[in-house]
Amino acid sequence: MPRPLIGISSYGRAGKRQSFSLPCDYVDVVRRAGGVPIVLPAVQGEIPEALEAIQGLILSGGGDVDPVHYGGQPHRSNYGISVERDGFEIALAGAALARPTLPILCICRGMQVLNVALGGDLIAHIPEKYGKAVQHRHPERRAIEHPVQVEPSSRLAAILGATELPVRSWHHQAVGRLGRGLRAVAWASDGVIEAVEADHHPFTFAVQWHPEVGAVEDVRHLRLFEALVEAAGGTRPAIAAMAGRQG
């Protein structure tokens, strides 16, 4: 059977010569999981056509979501805000959720976009609410590793085959009030929500960490992408397949 096409949202246009970029880790891990990666440039207008062309969707990481989208206030730590990308991904998330047969995986910023698209809000700066007991980003804005606890009865735990695992994170914001139909299923030890599932969609998962980086050394992170590709291929129920790996 042909391998499923997995759309991955790009970063916003930037640089001296304006370009749409995406870290290679996203492309590499989708290929490793058996899918064909398709980068979706962050421009508004082609969302229906894009969703018709792909069998699975990844909302990637990147800069902050403009607080105007969730009733927040600008913060001195905000960075990488792109009006164009915000509009594209929030609309893309809403349109994708209306397609129950389209599996969706949201990563870091992607998790925040999903929450905002469903009416939730964000924590502007983690240290101001949760303190510094857990470092979610290196002071030089580099990835850092910390443990995460996953709810044992969650679908995410069934996919990962674990209820605790180390994750690579790189963020200073987090989801606050949960959006409609979202349920928190993983947390850092400081209380920051690290993953959510959508009750109203058969395959929508969002993680605050970067599994595309962790998958290089830890197969548990790769399983997220394998489950996405399996669900996109429609060959068998991905959740049931991954549930067999629990324990």
Neighbours of 51 (CB within 10 A): 18
First to last CA, the chain: 30
Question: What are phi and psi for residue 228, nearest 5 degrees?
Answer: -60, -45
The pair of three-digit structure tokens given for residue 81, joined into one six-digit string: 């805000």
Query: Are residues 147 and 192 in contact, defined by beta-carbon separation less than 8 angstroms?
Result: no
User: What whole-number distance in Å separates Cα of residue 119 and Cα of residue 122?
Assistant: 10
- Catalytic positions are 108, 210, 212
Those residues whose C-beta lies under 8 Å from the C-beta of residue 140, and which sit 6 or more positions away, are none
Amino acid at 219: V
Query: Are residues 60 and 24 in contact, defined by beta-carbon separation less than 8 angstroms?
Result: no
